[in-house]
């Protein structure tokens, strides 16, 4: 039995924990909001230091905006060679790093992995199939974590492309904003395919800037996650894209919204090489008229 800590008891954290518990492993949750923990931990007296100290694997299931704060909380208790697995699909705002880049900078003593792919929490909860890619440069991480997750309904692949899986999730959330807007505009199947093809091409080229491998984007972490998130009504980034067309005011900021300006700053003048990314800048940041943008780009 492997002892697991899940940091962040939101929908994804709870779903992940449930999958691991079903395989007979011990899971403890921590969240800075105590009400999120009601009914979760078997031992209500489990403190954060105790949870971290006993865990062999720690999953980080928090928004990118909370990453710095979370590491502040848990860093004092982390041990050398302890396994950290990130499910964060956004850029850390203060330094413009992917979650795995930021984590490795703050706690280099830990062994690091990242989990990506089409694994929507709502579908996993409903016992529908999904796919995941676990990436790490450490064989220990792959050997220890993959068996925790793999089951008949969740296909788990492994990869050494830590950078690729990390940035693929970030880029997917950004480009899904445009898919949501396109669906709200009732574009056709041809235009949808055109957008997806161009989005994937740009994701690959931007991924190279982060040291990613091309093949990662043709697999579950890239194309697979883009398709699943891009056409799921449960996807918040998809909903945000729709809201940019229908004028509905959403109270939260999505990972795609938050990461887009950070990515543009990182790319600088190179952003001009990515016309679809610039369209998203006009749509999301400049609040340009979506119908005009999509017509000019040949999607309507």
Buried b (16+ CB within 10 A) or exposed e, 167-196: bbbbbbbbbbbbbbbbbbbebeeebbebbb
Which residues is 69 bridged to in the sheet? none
Kindly tell me if the per-residue pLDDT of 46 is higher than 80: no
Kindly tell me if the per-residue pLDDT of 13 is higher than 80: yes
What tokens does 2 get?
Answer: 């492997």
Instruction: Give the model confidence (pLDDT) of 221-231 as tens digits.
Output: 999 999 999 99
pLDDT at residue 217 in the model: 98
Instruction: Give the model confidence (pLDDT) of 49-103 as tens digits.
Output: 989 999 999 999 999 999 999 999 999 999 999 999 999 999 999 999 999 999 9
Tell me if residue 172 is catalytic: yes
Instruction: Give the model confidence (pLDDT) of 246-289 as tens digits.
Output: 988 777 899 999 999 999 999 999 999 999 999 999 999 999 99
Query: What CATH number was assigned to the domain covering residues 164-296?
Result: 1.10.1040.10
Out of 153, 172, 272, 273, the active site residue is: 172
Contact 158, 134 (CB under 8 A): yes
The whole-number average pLDDT for the span 35-61 is 83
Kindly tell me if the per-residue pLDDT of 45 is higher than 60: no
Fold match between domain 3-160 and domain 164-296: no
Using the structure block, give the residue that is written with the tokens 């940035």: 167
Question: What dihedral do alpha carbons 181, 183, 186, 190 form, nearest 10°?
Answer: 110
The full set of domain ranges for the chain reads 3-160, 164-296
Which of 3.30.450.70, 3.40.50.150, 3.30.300.30, 3.40.50.720 is the CATH number of 3-160? 3.40.50.720
Higher pLDDT, 117 or 35: 117
Query: What is the rounded average pLDDT for all residues in the chain?
Result: 94
């Amino acid at each position: 039995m492997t002892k697991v800590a899940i940091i962040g008891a939101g929908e994804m954290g709870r779903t992940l924990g449930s999958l691991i518990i079903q395989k007979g492993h011990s899971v403890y949750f921590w969240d800075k909001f105590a009400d999120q923990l009601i009914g979760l931990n078997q031992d209500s007296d489990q403190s954060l230091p105790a949870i971290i100290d006993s865990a062999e694997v720690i999953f980080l299931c928090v928004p990118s905006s909370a990453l710095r704060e979370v590491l502040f909380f848990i860093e004092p208790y982390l041990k050398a060679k302890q396994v950290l697995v990130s499910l964060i699909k956004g850029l850390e705002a203060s330094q413009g790093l992917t979650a795995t880049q930021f984590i490795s900078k703050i706690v280099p003593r830990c062994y690091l992995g990242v989990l990506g792919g089409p694994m929507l929490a709502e579908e996993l909860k409903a016992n529908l199939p999904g796919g995941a890619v676990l990436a790490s440069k450490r064989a220990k991480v792959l050997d220890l974590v993959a068996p925790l997750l793999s089951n008949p309904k969740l296909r788990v692949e492994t990869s050494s492309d830590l950078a690729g899986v990390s940035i693929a999730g970030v880029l997917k959330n950004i480009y899904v904003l445009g898919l949501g807007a396109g669906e709200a505009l009732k574009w056709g199947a041809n235009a949808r395919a055109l957008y997806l093809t161009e989005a994937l091409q740009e994701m690959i080229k931007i991924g190279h800037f982060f040291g990613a491998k091309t093949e990662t984007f043709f697999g579950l972490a890239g194309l697979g996650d883009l398709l699943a998130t891009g056409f799921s009504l449960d996807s918040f980034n998809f909903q945000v894209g729709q809201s940019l067309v229908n004028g509905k005011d959403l109270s939260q900021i999505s990972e795609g919204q938050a990461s887009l300006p950070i990515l543009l700053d990182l790319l600088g003048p190179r952003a001009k090489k990515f016309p679809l990314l610039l369209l998203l800048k006009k749509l999301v940041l400049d609040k340009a008229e979506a119908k005009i943008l999509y017509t000019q780009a040949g999607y309507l």
